[in-house]
Chain A
Amino acid sequence: MNKYNAGLTFIILFLFSCGHSFQDDALEAASDGKITKAEMAELVTSIQGENDPAQQQLFYTNGKIDTAKVADYLVGLFKTQELKVHRTDIWPAPTTAKSNLAPFNFNIFLENSGSMDGYVAGSTRFKDAVYSLLGNISNTFNGKLNLNYINSKITFSQPNADANGIREFIQNLTPATFKAKGGVRESSDIRDLLHQVIDKTDNGNVSILISDFVFSPGKKVNAHNYLVNQSIGIKIELAEKLKTYSLAIEVIQMNSQFNGKYFDLNNTPIPINGDRPYYVWFIGNQAQLVAIRNSGIIDNIKTGVEHNLIFCAQPAPLNEPFKILYSGKNGDFQLAGGTTGDISEPVPADGTSGDFAFEVATNNSGDIRGLDFYDDMNNYTHDGNYQIAVSRIGDTSDVITKGYTHRIHFSTKSLRKQNLTVLTRMTMPGWVLACTSDDDRQIKGDSAQMKKTFGLQFLLQGVYDAFYVAPHNNIVSQLKINIK
């Protein structure tokens, strides 16, 4: 019987030794409210040597176990079990990413041509917005804030403005001051304006250009030809800069009371009194614009922003992180290679019909264009065999989708083996066309024209054409899933 007992004991011990899991070990280790270096070492040992691709994805970086990734995973795990173990209780201590961004100054260029007078006549939302923006910059960034008026040339400069300087600048925003500062105020050559501003933009200087961006073709000039030429000129101007600089531009549209002379395509002055759009262009390198956007200085502009549009060039389409989810599926599948691998053994919903669906979570938080870009279905192109629907992940506490921003639902009625590619493409948003006027001579009394900007589409098309060129053209990101 001793032989039997020994055999039975061996079998039981062997079987129970197979029953440990990383998750259980981690929960046990966290019972004292922390994960020490020794406990982390034990957890790492239990992961080491595993060939499971899903674990490789979760815990490895460049072929080595990444304890920071393990720690991040543990935070999510403990949350599901309602354990009060936070990231700071887990070894190794979290490190704050050091920014490689060099300090930079802000050069504000406020266009003071005659068409801008109406925005600064009396107390207007334009003044409030500019004041609010300058205040936000001053409070948030350490660089110098240099204030300028510009038209055919820089007509006024106030370097390194402090709080008093900003207040004084705003108080002096009047048609009289604009006139007194001089320059060519009768017309706006937007290409020339951009040329001047871009010339002063580099890794140490971000430019902010504030203008109504209304083209002034002038009398006896074919307006359409003028706009096309300006568009091409702007494209050439920006393309030249892009050769040597990681240029990015964010355009925001706001509106304000306007009481003054509006100059139409013939440069005929038309007195108007009502709300008019104007634009603020943030021009810098991509890292600078990301820092500006993340700082909240745009979102916190007191009067609010109507629309925004970001242009940035990139050497190749982004491969945003993604995770195939087990939720939202119709039919079934295996993820032998983990949640970022291939979909294998797909089975349609009722076995024969071909109806099949699955969901993928994507993390687009790293893209300068912001999450709104990825909300817009118009920006997606994909294989016609699938229908897709995109939604923003609102619940940031869900450990399954933690760290992901969007959920893409894929559905088909014809399941087959295929390489599925989903692209996002930068397209001109609908508001640009809606806000474009091609003939502004009857603006007075026309409430629809009052909301539009003459030649806006040509202006932004010139910028677009400079940024989005072959070989990737306007492809922003790509997601590839192999269904086999």
Chain B
Amino acid sequence: MFNWLYQIGEGMQMYSRDMFKHLCGMDVTCSAFIGTPYATYLAIGLGAITLGVLALHYYVLDSPSFNRYYHWWLMALIMAILNFAVAYGILHASIHPGGYCKDLHITNSGAIGVALFNVLTGLIVSIVLTWIPPLRRLSTNNTYTTFIPLN
């Protein structure tokens, strides 16, 4: 379902095509895409972390003392660490011997590449979402909080 998203990362050469096939769910017998759909799991993790951190910043904390643009970057850093850790954790656990199609050339650096792609995607999604005024206006104290100072 989210294969298209990770095809972008493969196109950017952040990881190999073999890693992309693994994310799409190539089964352990290397016969068909009926294995674990890691792309879906990673995308769910990415969405949950990104939206969760933004919701925490804008709607839960929603504090007048935590609404400057550098606070946005601080939250972005936390989001990046979480996105990296979750994505890398899922993939690292999946690439044990017997856990994937062994004909695919899957490396730890590929897993790092996917994790970095999730970090980058999370950052872009955050920038876009917090740039949209109606979403910011749902917050009381972060109406003008974006990734750059607005004034």
Which A residues fall within an 8 A CB radius of B?
12, 15-16, 18-19, 21-24, 52, 54-55, 57-58, 73, 76-77, 80-82, 323, 325-327, 332, 338-339, 399-400, 402
A318 and B101 CA atoms in complex are apart in Å by 30
CB distance from B129 to the nearest CB of A (A): 15
Check B98–A21 contact: CB distance below 8 A.
Answer: no
- The reply on B18 being an interface residue by CB < 8 A is yes
Q: Which of B17, B25, B41, B101 contacts A400 (CB 8 A)?
A: B101
B103/A400 in contact, CB under 8 A: yes
Distance in angstroms between the alpha carbons of A146 and B110 in the assembled complex: 69
Q: Mark B22-33, 1 if CB is under 8 A from A, else 0.
A: 000111111111
Complex interface: chain A residues within 8 A of B27 (CB): 22-23, 77
With contact pairs A326-B18, A400-B103 given, residues A19 and B44 touching in the complex (Cβ less than 8 Å): yes
Residues facing A in B26-76 (CB within 8 A) are 26-37, 40-41, 43-44, 47-48
A21 and B28 in contact, given A80-B98, A82-B98, A400-B103 (Cβ under 8 angstroms): no
Interface string of B71-87 (1 = CB under 8 A from A): 00000000000000000
Rounded to whole angstroms, the CA-CA distance of A21 and B38 in the bound complex is 10
Bound-complex Cα distance A53 to B34 (A): 12
Tell me the smallest distance from the CB of B11 to a CB of chain A, in Å.
Answer: 12
The tally of CB-CB contacts under 8 A between chains A and B is 81
Indicate if the CB atoms of B47 and A15 lie closer than 8 Å. yes
Q: Which residues of B contact A (CB under 8 A)?
A: 1, 17-18, 21, 25-37, 40-41, 43-44, 47-48, 98, 101-104
Most chain A Cβ neighbours within 10 Å, of B27, B98, B101: B27
| A55 to B: closest C-beta gap in Å | 5
State how many angstroms separate the Cβ of B140 from the closest Cβ of chain A.
14
Q: Is the CB of A80 within 8 A of B44?
A: no
> A15-B40, A15-B44, A19-B40 are contacts. A52–B33 as well, Cβ < 8 Å?
yes
B98 — which chain A residues lie within 8 A by C-beta? 80-82
- Closest residue of chain A to B98, judged by CB? A80
Contact A21 B30 (CB under 8 A): no
Q: 28 A-B Cβ contacts within 8 A?
A: A12-B44, A12-B48, A15-B40, A15-B43, A15-B47, A19-B37, A19-B40, A21-B25, A21-B35, A21-B37, A22-B27, A23-B25, A23-B35, A52-B33, A55-B34, A76-B29, A77-B27, A77-B28, A325-B30, A326-B18, A326-B26, A326-B103, A327-B102, A327-B103, A332-B17, A332-B18, A400-B29, A400-B30
Q: A326 to chain B: which residues have CB within 8 Å? A: 18, 21, 26, 30, 101, 103-104
Contacts of A400 in B (CB 8 A): 29-30, 101-103
Query: A23-B36, A81-B28 given. 18 additional CB < 8 A pairs?
Result: A18-B37, A19-B41, A21-B35, A21-B37, A22-B27, A73-B29, A80-B28, A323-B31, A326-B21, A326-B30, A326-B103, A338-B32, A339-B30, A339-B31, A399-B29, A400-B29, A400-B30, A400-B102
Shortest Cβ distance from residue B102 to the other chain A in the assembled complex, whole angstroms: 7
- Nearest-CB residue, chain B, relative to A338: B32
Structural contact, A54 and B101, CB atoms closer than 8 A: no
Question: Measured between alpha carbons, how far is A399 from B102 in the docked complex, in Å?
Answer: 10
Q: How far is the CB of B14 from chain A (nearest CB, A)?
A: 16
Q: How far is the CA of A460 from the CA of B29 in the complex (A)?
A: 44
Within the assembled complex, what's the spacing in Å between the Cα atoms of A12 and B30?
30
User: Please, how many angstroms separate the alpha-carbon atoms of A18 and B36 in the complex?
Assistant: 11
Find chain B residues with CB under 8 A from A19 CB. Answer: 37, 40-41, 44
A-chain residues with CB within 8 Å of residue B18 when the two chains form the complex: 326, 332
Residues in chain A near residue B33, CB distance under 8 A: 52, 54
Which residues in B have their C-beta under 8 angstroms from that of A81?
28, 98
Q: How far apart sit A338 and B30, CA to CA, in the bound complex (Å)?
A: 10
Given contacts A80-B28, A400-B30, contact A325 B103 (CB under 8 A): yes
Give the Cβ gap from A306 to chain B, nearest Cβ, in Å: 39
B134 to chain A, nearest CB (A): 14
**Docked complex Cα distance between A169 and B113 (Å):** 77
For residue A26, which residue of chain B has the nearest CB? B34
Q: Find out whether the CB atom of A58 lies under 8 angstroms from the CB atom of B32.
A: yes
Decide: B41 and A399 in contact? CB cutoff 8 A.
Answer: no
> Nearest CB to that of A25 among chain B residues?
B34
Docked Cα-Cα span, A264 to B31, in Å, equals 60
Q: Are B32 and A55 in contact (CB under 8 A)?
A: yes
Which 7 A-B pairs give the minimum distances between C-beta atoms? Answer: A54-B32, A326-B103, A327-B103, A22-B34, A23-B35, A80-B28, A18-B1
CA distance A327 to B30 in the complex (A): 10
Chain B contacts for A58, CB-based, 8 A? 31-32, 34
CB distance from B53 to the nearest CB of A (A): 14
Q: Considering the chains assembled together, what is the distance between the CA atoms of A399 and B33 in angstroms?
A: 16
In the bound complex, CA of A52 to CA of B37 (Å) = 15
A52 to B32, CA, bound (A): 8
Collect the chain A residues with CB atoms within 8 Å of residue B17's CB.
332
Q: A332: nearest residue on chain B (CB-CB)?
A: B17
Chain A residues with Cβ under 8 A from B103's Cβ?
Answer: 325-327, 400
Residue of chain A at shortest CB distance from B51: A8
> What's the minimum C-beta distance from A361 to chain B, rounded to whole angstroms?
10
CA distance A464 to B102 in the complex (A): 44
Would B29 and A18 count as touching, CB distance under 8 A? Answer: no
Determine the distance from Cα of A21 to Cα of B102 in the docked complex, in whole angstroms.
19
- Expressed in whole angstroms, the minimum distance between the Cβ of A73 and any Cβ of chain B is 7
What residues of chain B lie closer than 8 Å to A399, measured between beta carbons? 28-29
Q: How far is the CA of A446 from the CA of B26 in the complex (A)?
A: 63
Report Cα–Cα, A320/B53, bound state, in Å: 56
- Is B36 touching A21 in the complex (CB atoms < 8 A)? yes
In the bound assembly, the distance between CA atoms of A57 and B34 in angstroms comes to 13
